[in-house]
């Protein structure tokens, strides 16, 4: 088996809490194997009771048959109980892995999520864990009984005749060498297969989520070409992995044939010399079969384990990704948020070699409406990400209600803001559950009031089940405008002290937008608000407009002041009207 000791040790650590089940499984495996191996001795004794024509000890054979029937029941029960233990171990371990993987996803920094394909992450949490589960279950079920069978058979054979047992022992290393030779070559193939499968999952996820765009731009043909290319690579590495794994069984069977032939020839010669009885020879031949059978099983188990370890490695790599930096011990909880905010010499870049925000300074008073405008890529959304601490600044300080944001608990910072983004997000569930996403304890009356404030109540009431209408993931059965209204209602329900509206009305028709703007004005009363907008008509009433370009605030002031300056904002405004 390919050496990946680090991963193997991690798997063993996961199994440790269920060691009592492992011991039980081993006990049942020993019982199963011991009685299974005792059966050939009884069969051999029965053969020796057939002394010749007309000289058959039927009474003795009948006694042996009764014993064999008892053995059958005991081995069946032990096999069933062993499988039960193995299933519990496997599914407990897999449950723990899934929980840890999903829990890690919740604490990974946004930087990781932004830099990895969603489908690849999904593949690690679901597909790779499933493959790991299959390999682990087969490993426990066949590896335990296989190893016990090998040692048990050797012990029984040695107790009957040492010379014939030596024939078996001397040929055994050939079988081990063949299995090891092939197993070393399968690990890399299965690792590559797992990675390529993740790539395919990612592409399918991308195509399913963007099917309207794919069809609208006639990308279907190129998508099929991309899929075919990945599929060919998956076929190639899967064929190689399957080829190496499939030759394991015939190879070990060939060695098994050698063992059986060796036992048959040596045993026959000794039987003719009177060194052993015919019954003992038949017993040995049965043992030769039983001894070699686990090598076939173990070789196929090793192949499955190669796949399981390769998948486990990818899952463990994900679980060990560096999480979002923990809050410092002295971090405080924001109890009183007055809405004041200050940026002092803040610098930030996604990549060290590409500067974005440099020495940014900003002073925001409680209750102010701050609009952020500028061309695409100037840093508007980046600024919002820094305020919410989705990304950490490289230099400078952000003060929130007088506190250094780095010395405040992240959850506390994020609870201080309510966000409505251009990209809507809804979960599978009822409309009421989606509105109450951030406040699950909210009453139905509170939810309805929030929906009315967001002008969503009327369209919700027209739906078949009203607030109990089930909506699909990403709200597939709602219009873009309706989804946006639900996202606005979600914030209306919580009403935090500070608001971030990032192109929040971009998907709403003009008539609804006027109503939503009224709702926003009501919601923003006494609250510090940051409004990111491309349509400058929506921000005329802002207290301060920040004009950003190339990561810097180049102009700052009210709508009238900026128009009077005749600078970048005026050109931007006039280009829209």
Extract the tokens encoding 10.
Answer: 């991690």
User: In terms of Cα–Cα distance, which of 461, 462, 431, 463 is closest to 447?
Assistant: 431
- pLDDT band of 574, cuts 50, 70, 90: confident
Q: What is the pLDDT of residue 4?
A: 58
Distance CA 78, CA 416 (A): 60
Non-local (6+) Cβ contacts of 339 within 8 A are 364, 365, 366, 367, 368, 401, 497, 498, 527, 528
User: In terms of Cα–Cα distance, which of 562, 484, 480 is closest to 520?
Assistant: 484
Alpha-carbon distances of 352 from 357, 380, 553, rounded to whole Å: 12, 19, 21
**pLDDT greater than 80 at residue 573:** no
Better-predicted residue by pLDDT, 132 or 187: 132
Q: What is the mean pLDDT of the chain?
A: 81
Cite the beta strand spans of 288-405 per DSSP E.
Answer: 341-348, 357-364, 369-373, 395-400, 403-404
Better-predicted residue by pLDDT, 3 or 395: 395
What does the pLDDT look like over 41-98, one tens digit per residue?
A: 787 777 777 756 666 777 888 888 898 899 899 999 998 998 898 888 888 888 888 8
Q: What is the pLDDT of residue 36?
A: 83
Range from 10-24, 213-227, 479-493 carrying the lowest mean pLDDT: 213-227
**pLDDT greater than 50 at residue 235:** yes
Distance CA 131, CA 128 (A): 5
Which of 37-51, 122-136, 155-169, 226-240 ranks highest by mean pLDDT? 226-240
Angle 411-528-436 from CA coordinates, rounded to 5°: 50
User: In terms of Cα–Cα distance, which of 240, 125, 206, 128 is closest to 232?
Assistant: 240
Which of 173-182, 281-290, 471-480 ranks highest by mean pLDDT? 281-290
User: In terms of Cα–Cα distance, which of 178, 159, 158 is closest to 167?
Assistant: 158
Neighbours of 368 (CB within 10 A): 18
Q: Which burial class, exposed, middle or buried, applies to 47 when counting CB atoms under 10 A from its CB (0-12, 13-18, 19+)?
A: middle
Contact assessment for residue 520 and residue 500, using Cβ atoms and an 8 Å cutoff: no
**pLDDT greater than 60 at residue 2:** no
Contact assessment for residue 49 and residue 57, using Cβ atoms and an 8 Å cutoff: yes
pTM of the prediction?
A: 0.64
Q: What is the pLDDT of residue 296?
A: 66
Q: What is the pLDDT of residue 537?
A: 62
Q: What is the pLDDT of residue 534?
A: 67
Non-local (6+) Cβ contacts of 374 within 8 A are 380, 547, 548, 549, 572
For 517-543, letters b (16+ CB in 10 Å) and e give eebbeebbeebbbbbbbbebebbeebb
**pLDDT greater than 80 at residue 498:** yes
- Cα-flanking dihedrals φ and ψ of residue 346, to 5°? -80, 130
Domains and CATH numbers, the chain: 5-319 (1.20.1560.10), 341-576 (3.40.50.300)
- pLDDT band of 1, cuts 50, 70, 90: very low
Distance CA 499, CA 528 (A): 6
Q: What is the pLDDT of residue 80?
A: 92
Extract the tokens encoding 195.
Answer: 């990675």
Q: What is the pLDDT of residue 484?
A: 81
DSSP state of 488: H
Quickly count helices (H) and strands (E) in the chain.
21, 14
Range from 48-52, 234-238, 333-337, 449-453 carrying the lowest mean pLDDT: 48-52
Better-predicted residue by pLDDT, 154 or 511: 154
> Residue written as tokens 């910072």?
413
- Could you tell me the sign of the dihedral formed by the alpha carbons of 110, 113, 114, 118, in that order? negative
Extract the tokens encoding 338.
Answer: 């007055």
Beta bridge partners of 364: 341
User: In terms of Cα–Cα distance, which of 124, 117, 137 is closest to 197?
Assistant: 124
Instruction: Tell me which H or E stretch contains 52.
Output: strand 50-52
Q: Using DSSP bridges, classify how beta strands 403-404 and 395-400 pair: parallel, antiparallel or unpaired.
A: antiparallel
For 340-366, what is the mean pLDDT?
Answer: 84
Contact assessment for residue 366 and residue 528, using Cβ atoms and an 8 Å cutoff: yes
**pLDDT greater than 90 at residue 559:** no
Q: What is the pLDDT of residue 429?
A: 84
What does the pLDDT look like over 301-312, one tens digit per residue?
A: 776 777 788 888
Contact assessment for residue 200 and residue 227, using Cβ atoms and an 8 Å cutoff: yes
- pLDDT band of 147, cuts 50, 70, 90: confident
For 255-266, what is the mean pLDDT?
Answer: 80
Extract the tokens encoding 19.
Answer: 């060691």
Q: What is the pLDDT of residue 107?
A: 83
Q: What is the pLDDT of residue 3?
A: 47
For 441-453, what is the mean pLDDT?
Answer: 89
């Amino acid at each position: 088996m390919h050496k990946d000791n680090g991963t193997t040790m991690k798997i063993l650590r996961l199994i440790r809490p269920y060691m009592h089940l492992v011991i039980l499984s081993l006990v049942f495996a020993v019982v199963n194997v011991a009685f299974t191996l005792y059966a050939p001795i009884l069969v051999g004794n029965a053969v020796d009771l057939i002394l010749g024509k007309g000289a058959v000890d039927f009474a003795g054979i009948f006694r042996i048959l009764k014993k064999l029937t008892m053995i059958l029941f005991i081995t069946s029960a032990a096999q069933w109980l062993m499988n039960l233990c193995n299933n519990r171990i496997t599914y407990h371990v897999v449950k723990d892995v899934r929980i840890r993987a999903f829990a890690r996803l919740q604490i990974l920094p946004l930087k990781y999520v932004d830099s990895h394909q969603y489908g690849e992450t999904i593949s690690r949490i679901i597909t790779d864990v499933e493959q790991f589960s299959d390999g682990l279950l087969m490993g426990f079920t066949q590896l335990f009984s296989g190893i016990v069978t090998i040692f048990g058979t050797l012990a029984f054979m040695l107790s009957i005749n040492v010379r014939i047992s030596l024939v078996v022992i001397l040929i055994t290393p050939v079988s081990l060498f063949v299995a090891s030779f092939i197993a070393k070559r399968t690990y890399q193939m299965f690792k590559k297969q797992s990675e390529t499968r993740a790539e395919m999952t990612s592409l399918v996820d991308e195509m399913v989520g963007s099917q309207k765009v794919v069809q609208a731009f006639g990308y279907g043909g190129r998508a099929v070409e991309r899929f075919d290319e990945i599929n060919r690579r998956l076929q190639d590495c899967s064929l190689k992995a399957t080829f190496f794994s499939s030759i394991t069984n015939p190879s070990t069977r060939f060695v098994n044939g050698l063992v059986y032939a060796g036992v048959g020839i040596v045993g026959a010669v000794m039987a003719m010399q009177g060194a052993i009885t015919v019954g003992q020879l038949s017993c040995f031949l049965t043992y030769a079969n039983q001894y070699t059978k686990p090598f076939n099983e173990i070789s196929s188990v090793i192949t499955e384990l190669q796949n399981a370890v390769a998948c486990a490695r990818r899952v463990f790599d994900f679980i060990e990704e560096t999480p979002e930096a923990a809050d410092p011990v002295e971090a405080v909880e924001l109890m009183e948020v007055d809405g004041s905010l200050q940026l002092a010499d803040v610098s930030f870049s996604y990549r060290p070699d590409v500067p974005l925000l440099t020495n940014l300074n900003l002073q925001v008073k409680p209750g102010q409406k701050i609009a952020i405008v500028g061309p695409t890529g100037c840093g508007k959304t980046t600024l919002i990400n820094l305020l919410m601490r989705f990304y950490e600044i490289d230099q400078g300080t952000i003060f929130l209600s007088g506190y250094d944001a780095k010395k405040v608990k992240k959850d506390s910072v994020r609870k201080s803001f309510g966000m409505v983004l251009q990209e809507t997000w809804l979960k599978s569930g009822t409309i009421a559950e989606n509105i109450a996403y951030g406040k699950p304890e909210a009453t139905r009356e509170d939810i309805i009031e929030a929906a009315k404030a967001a002008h969503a109540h009327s369209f919700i009431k027209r739906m078949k089940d009203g607030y109990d209408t089930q909506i699909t993931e990403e709200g597939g059965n709602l219009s873009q405008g309706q989804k946006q209204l639900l996202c606005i209602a979600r914030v209306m329900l919580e009403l935090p002290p500070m608001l971030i509206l990032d192109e929040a009305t971009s998907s709403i028709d003009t008539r609804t937008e006027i109503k939503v703007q009224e709702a926003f004005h009501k919601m923003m009363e006494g609250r510090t608000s940051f409004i990111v907008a491309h349509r400058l008509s929506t921000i005329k009433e802002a207290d301060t407009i920040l004009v950003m370009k190339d990561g810097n605030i180049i102009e700052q002031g009210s709508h009238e002041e900026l128009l009077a300056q005749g600078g970048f904002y005026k050109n931007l405004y006039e280009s829209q009207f």
